[in-house]
Amino acid sequence: MNRKLLVTGGAGFIGSKFVKCGVKKRGYDMVVVDKLTYAGDLERLREVENHIIFYKADISDMDLMEDIFKNEKPYAVVHFAAESHVDRSIMDTTPFLDTNIKGTQILLEISGRHEIQRFINISTDEVYGDMKDEGQSYETTPLNPSSPYSVSKAAADMLGRAYQRTYCLPVITVRPSNNYGPWQYPEKLIPVVILKAINNEKVPVYAKGENIREWLFVMDCVEAIFEVLEKGKIGEIYNVGSGEEKRNIDVVKTILNMLGKSEDLIEFVKDRPGHDFRYSLNSKKISEQIGWKNKKGFLEGIEKTVRWYLDNIEWAESKLKDMKPMQ
């Protein structure tokens, strides 16, 4: 039986965890495709480098991707590759359109020609857009993206579903909530707070820090994606959330407390343009139909994450030095 998965964005934060889990725990053969932009890093895959096939490639390059599919003949595609930072999308939208929309369309097109048996399209809770204090987003909730990033992800999400309906491509859509954990690139909220606090620098928080996100430990997300790959129904959408919503300011204070740092380090800064107030997923469908539920609560997960950054401060700070400026 063919157990070969083609994983796009496999040197990224979530993708690399998926690749390592697939090799070490799930018994898959992994073909990893990654452009290795600023947020991709082969160091994340070092422990399984001798057990994977790696291609440095842009998913927007149709000829190159066609060659990879011909050479490797994967059973399924798990599509993580994306430009993924809202602030960067506000500064320059073009890379988000090129990778997230055009790249996804090319992968879908080639997957159809090569009779892929599963195409797992990784979306995001941000496609649902802004929510007020109450209510949740269901898989049937209309999409209402707010930022250039979330618009590009909504387009990729809808392209996958269009290819499933029009061409009978076996697409399954996964919409996770905010992921966090070890190896996350230090421009996202949690690693930024950890690194700034370790160095006794001011910790920037947008507006008053009242914005609410649902936080999901990265390994829980990875396990959910494997469950969807193995048990999910073609054409379906699955929300993947923890049910743990936190205000940004409370996340920041929790990390400062764990590090024994004063809340005086917090510095409120001008808010992001069009900043969504809240995301909240209803994840009953994946729980009831597939049997997945997150295992790691926020406090346990954030403690593990903080410890990892303390133990791997050199990697994190090297990323800060190499970080591509946003403007």
Annotated catalytic residue within 34, 41, 83, 125: 125
Annotated catalytic residue within 149, 180, 185, 309: 149
CA distance 120 to 161: 11
The answer to whether 125 is a known catalytic residue is yes
Find the length of the chain: 327
Distance of CA 170 to the CA centre of its chain: 21
Number of neighbouring beta carbons within 10 Å of residue 199: 12
| Closest-CA residue to 192 (of 40, 305, 273, 71) | 305
Task: Please give the structure tokens belonging to residue 121.
Answer: 């399209």
Distances (CA, A) of 252 to 49, 107, 298, 321: 35, 38, 13, 23
Number of neighbouring beta carbons within 10 Å of residue 99: 23
| Closest-CA residue to 77 (of 124, 111, 105) | 111
Annotated catalytic residue within 126, 214, 236, 276: 126
Judged on CB neighbours under 10 Å (0-12, 13-18, 19+), 39 is buried
The answer to whether 47 is a known catalytic residue is no
CA distance 59 to 66: 10
The answer to whether 67 is a known catalytic residue is no
- Four-residue CA torsion sign, 135, 153, 248, 16: positive
Catalytic residues: 125-126, 149
